[in-house]
């Protein structure tokens, strides 16, 4: 008998007291917090860049990105390495989160549409909402969390950091 429900896997994480999740296909890695190099004149939510196996990875604080207080680093704080797609081009971005929880298998019919609370609230990056153990989890469309301008800024910051790294090596 074929299952009539389509399931997707999501990695759940916390930002403050709230639960969020990203499709596991977008999460490349989970890292411990490491040394962060600041990038001058970067947006407030961009913490800087980190070294990921010899490559420069722009790092954002998702709490700041979502208008929350900055992340307070604890032993649970970690970095999600995400694969973001813009204009059919792939970009790797680090996202600082309070803690990673678990991988959830969620059936499509258990995902409700995002709330509609007016045009001022930007919910286009919320894929949907699911319920797990009496907790609501915001399912994020990671490709839409960052606008096109933000992705371009991140790419330019990464290129500048890579150029500076090349100068140091030479």
More confident residue, 71 or 121: 71
The parent domain of residue 17 ranges over 7-169
In this model, does residue 91 exceed pLDDT 50?
yes
Residue 15 lies in a domain: yes
Quick one: 142 exposed, middle or buried, by C-beta within 10 A (0-12, 13-18, 19+)? buried
17 closest CA partner among 111, 73, 98, 106: 98
In this model, does residue 25 exceed pLDDT 50?
yes
Domain total of the chain: 1
Residue 2 lies in a domain: no
Q: What is the CATH number of the domain that holds 48?
A: 2.40.50.180
Q: What is the pLDDT of residue 88?
A: 82
15 closest CA partner among 81, 82, 60: 60
Q: What is the pLDDT of residue 153?
A: 60
Residue 1 lies in a domain: no
Q: Map residue 121 onto helix, strand or coil.
A: coil
Which residue matches tokens 């059919």?
88
């Amino acid at each position: 008998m074929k299952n009539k429900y389509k399931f997707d896997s999501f990695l759940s994480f916390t930002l403050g007291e709230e639960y969020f999740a990203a499709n596991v296909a977008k999460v490349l890695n989970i890292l411990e917090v490491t040394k962060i190099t600041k990038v001058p004149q970067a947006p407030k939510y961009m913490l800087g860049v980190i070294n990921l196996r010899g490559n420069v990875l722009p790092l954002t604080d998702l709490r700041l990105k979502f208008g929350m207080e900055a992340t307070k680093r604890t032993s649970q704080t970690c970095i999600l390495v995400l694969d973001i797609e813009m204009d059919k081009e792939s970009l790797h971005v680090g996202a600082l989160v309070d803690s990673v929880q678990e991988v959830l298998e969620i059936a499509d019919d258990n995902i409700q549409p995002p709330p509609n609370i007016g045009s001022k609230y930007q919910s286009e990056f919320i894929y949907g909402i699911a319920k797990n153990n009496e907790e609501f989890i915001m399912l994020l469309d990671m490709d839409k969390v960052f606008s096109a301008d933000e992705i371009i800024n991140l790419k330019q910051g990464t290129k500048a950091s890579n150029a500076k790294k090349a100068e140091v090596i030479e």
